[in-house]
Amino acid sequence: MAGRRRGSRSAVAALCLLLVSLVGCGGRPATDGARAEVQRLLDARAAAVLGHDEPAYRATGTPAGFDHVKAVPFSAWSYRVTAVHPSGDTASADAELRYSVRGYDRAPVTAARVLGLALDAGGRWRVTSDRPAKKAGQQLWDQGAVSVVRGAHSLVLGTGQSGERLRSFAELADRAVPAVSQAWGADWSGHVVVLVPKSLEGMAGLLASPASSYRGIAAVTTGETGGPARAPADRIIVNPDAYGVLGSLGRQVVLTHETTHVATRAHTDAATPLWLSEGYADWVGYRGSGRSASMVAPELAGAVADGRVPAALPADKDFGFTGDSTRLAQAYEGGWLACRLIADRWGEVRLGEFYRAVGAHRARAGAVEDAMKKVLGTTSEKFTAQWRDALRAQFG
């Protein structure tokens, strides 16, 4: 029995030695030490970004990327390491990047990143790369050096664009912001950030989507792509390829439309149908333009003239970017006409109240119906009939 006990103690001792070699002293995984070291490294790299200190940035690893971000007015930039995956003298680190643009972001924007690491001659980790995590969108500086143009109500960030072109976007945005405030009210930030990548492919990279999803779409707001309703910041992302073929009115309407999405974001959620959110943004975009209904809604006008009057307000699925372009156009036009109907019949103030009431419902079921009853004193069925009558009157 004694011999068996000695053998058992020897086996336990050997197992303990093996565990110590795997997890380190005190029973903590060896990777915890690496994670803490990497966190300190990235803290120093973040401080260098905020301090515009290129030598300090170089001391943390590759200098690539410093020139890309140095013009952007960050008020915050930090990393939170969530995991380290060592492999000999190299490793990768999963991290959450949190940053804010001074004067524009009320809370940090977050982005999932993967950093490449390597041990230097002194056995210290250094950064070799910093890229978006799988399925995460790029940041604008991932695509090149960022140029910055400030407007009275806007900040325009671009890559591969001339200063003159970026200034033109600032001028459009500076006209859009007061136009939106006049229609919607002052309960929003009153400024916008516009991102202008070099190409459609650059836009797609920022949105982590195939380029085909946005071909022909002049701009989107990040809130339209599925972000949380109360996100700390929205960005208007431009497709320079599609934007370049628009006339002066079209360019202004698009920027005003997207700025409306920024303004209404806190009141737009799962309860808000796309005919309302997109229709309202178009209504604000065309408000005061002097354009007739046939000019604003040519596809819908043609359908109604042919006797094809829609039976119902546009469904969310009708707004899919990758679907039938004619159906997409008719969906936007139908939503615009519905919002114009409310503004004309009940007043512009009541239209804004209706929008807010729908968003306050929080759930889609019953949201429009309740707002129709409480704000407009009607029913969805009666409103749809009135909308169809308006289509016939305008285009029949």
C-alpha 367, offset from chain centre: 25
| Structure confidence at residue 25 (pLDDT) | 38
Please give the angle made by the CA atoms of 251, 255 and 261, to the nearest 5 degrees. Answer: 150
| Structure confidence at residue 131 (pLDDT) | 97
| Structure confidence at residue 281 (pLDDT) | 98
| Structure confidence at residue 323 (pLDDT) | 66
The two most distant CA atoms of the chain are separated, in Å, by 103
| Structure confidence at residue 65 (pLDDT) | 95
| Structure confidence at residue 233 (pLDDT) | 65
Structure tokens at 59: 């001391």
| Structure confidence at residue 364 (pLDDT) | 95
Cβ-based burial of 265 (10 A; exposed 0-12, middle 13-18, buried ≥19): buried
| Structure confidence at residue 232 (pLDDT) | 53
Segment 325-354, tens digit of pLDDT: 899 999 999 999 999 999 999 999 999 999
| Structure confidence at residue 1 (pLDDT) | 44
| Structure confidence at residue 258 (pLDDT) | 97
| Structure confidence at residue 229 (pLDDT) | 44
Residue 88: left (phi > 0), alpha (psi -120 to 50), or beta?
A: left
What structural domains does the chain harbor? 22-136 (3.10.450.50), 140-263 (3.30.2010.30), 268-396 (no CATH)
- pTM of the complete model: 0.88
Cβ atoms of 359 and 265 closer than 8 Å? no
Cβ atoms of 159 and 202 closer than 8 Å? yes
Segment 3-39, tens digit of pLDDT: 434 444 444 333 333 333 333 333 444 567 889 999 9
| Structure confidence at residue 290 (pLDDT) | 94
SS3 string of the chain? CHHHHHHHHHHHHHHHHHHHHHHCHHHCCHHHHHHHHHHHHHHHHHHHHHCCCHHHHHCCECCCCHHHHCCCCEEEEEEEEEEEEEECCEEEEEEEEEEEECCCCCCCEEEEEEEEEEECCCCCEEEEEEEECCCCCCCHHHHCCCEEEECCCEEEEECCCCHHHHHHHHHHHHHHHHHHHHHHCCCCCCCEEEEECCCHHHHHHHHCCCHHHCCCCCEEEHHHHCCCCCCCCCCEEECHHHHCCCCHHHHHHHHHHHHHHHHHHHHCCCCCCHHHHHHHHHHHHHCCCCCCHHHHCHHHHHHHHCCCCCCCCCCHHHHCCCCCHHHHHHHHHHHHHHHHHHHHHHCHHHHHHHHHHHHHCCCCCCHHHHHHHHHHCCCHHHHHHHHHHHHHHHHC
Ranges in the chain, pLDDT < 50: 1-29, 225-230
Tell me which amino acid residue 216 is: G
* Rounded Cα–Cα distance for residues 348 and 30 (Å): 64
Cβ atoms of 319 and 328 closer than 8 Å? yes
